[in-house]
Amino acid sequence: MKRILITGITGFVGKHLATYLLSQNSYEIVGTYRSESSLETIGTIRDQIQFKKIDLNDAQAVESLVLSTKPDVIFHLAAQASPSKSFSFPVETFTNNIVAEFSLLDVLRKHKLTNIRVVVISSADIYGVITPHDIPVAENTPLRPATPYAVSKIAQDFLSYQHFLAYQLDIVRLRPYNHIGPGQKEGYVVADFAKQIAEIEKGKKDDTITVGNLQAKRDFTDVRDIVKAYALTMEKGKSGDVYNLGSGKSHKIEDVLKTLLSFSTKKISVKVDQTRFRPIDVPEIRCDSSKFHELTGWEPAIPFEKTLEDILDYWRDVV
């Protein structure tokens, strides 16, 4: 049975990845976390995971973790994952996203652990300012980062590639586009919409939903489809290579909001709040994931409307 180490397992994607891998009955899961409170959100799979509390910026602690757990595969998910938050906390973003990954990779370099497969999660945000000519965005599209978060993810992406080239580590990089689903916290557009609707339905908020830029178009994929792609990468990804992951379809944020509102019987008004706008925003992003599809056959399976409905139902249970 393969032993898999997931950094940041209590995060949004980490929980879904662990849930999917455990459902296959073929993997032993070890997961890192930072705070006791985060364990409360892990759900019914908690007893099936070996948890390790660790600061991934602590190189000695990371070395001890890797050498003691002896994983066959590492999914490096731990990161400050909010592009919006990165404008307010750029130093925290750089530290969490770059230093933590270096600590991990340096252990593998130091001990020549070339037998451990590492799946590094970069981000489609690194493409940044997309022009109409770039759409759909392939892996060779120029990088024009528009957020501190994107800069940090470029560093993660290239740092792992450098370790593949220089030290022959078995690393595969992924650049997922916007992934959404039940369990995603506030600070992300669809979750923010759904939370506000749920609060209005329960009388915890006035009947006005506050929004930012509704004209942007984004490529959304259900996180439950994304983690299946992560698992396929573990088995089929080519060492040193990089793959985009997305639906290949773009949705206007305004249409996403309208669909969510259609699931509610409440009469809800919409108010645009300029403070929710980013300093720079890209009109449209759409993924070309044909490279990964040709390698693995992967494509999203969950209908977009079903994803939105599940997100709203999640927030109805939470608020």
Helix (H, G, I), strand (E, B) or coil at 194: helix
Whether residue 17 contacts residue 77, with contact meaning beta carbons closer than 8 Å, is answered with: yes
Same domain, 207 and 313: yes
pLDDT digits (tens, 9 = 90+) for 229-240: 999 999 999 999
Q: Is the pLDDT of residue 147 over 90?
A: yes
Same domain, 57 and 79: yes
Average pLDDT for residues 123-128, to the nearest whole number? 96
Same domain, 18 and 43: yes
CB atoms within 10 A of CB 88: 10
Same domain, 168 and 272: no
Q: Which of 225, 140, 212 is nearest to 178 (CA)?
A: 225
The domain total for the chain is 2
Same domain, 151 and 272: no
**pLDDT value at residue 126:** 97
Please give the helix or strand (H or E) that residue 211 lies within, else none: strand 208-211
d(CA 191, CA 84) in angstroms, rounded, equals 14
Q: Which of 194, 196, 200 is nearest to 180 (CA)?
A: 194
Same domain, 171 and 270: no
Same domain, 101 and 135: yes
**pLDDT value at residue 276:** 80
**pLDDT value at residue 43:** 84
Largest distance between two CA atoms of the chain: 61
Q: What CATH number does residue 107 fall under?
A: 3.40.50.720
Confidence band of 158 (pLDDT split at 50, 70, 90)? very high
φ, ψ for residue 101, nearest 5 deg: -65, -40
Whether residue 32 contacts residue 5, with contact meaning beta carbons closer than 8 Å, is answered with: yes
Q: Which domain holds residue 105?
A: 2-180+220-249+288-296
Same domain, 160 and 150: yes
Same domain, 14 and 146: yes
**pLDDT value at residue 67:** 98
Same domain, 224 and 270: no
Alpha helices in 215-303 (DSSP H): 223-236, 253-262, 290-296
Same domain, 60 and 152: yes
Q: What CATH number does residue 264 fall under?
A: 3.90.25.10
**pLDDT value at residue 105:** 98
Same domain, 233 and 266: no
pLDDT digits (tens, 9 = 90+) for 249-258: 999 999 999 9
Burial zone of 97 (CB within 10 Å; 0-12 exposed, 13-18 middle, 19+ buried): buried
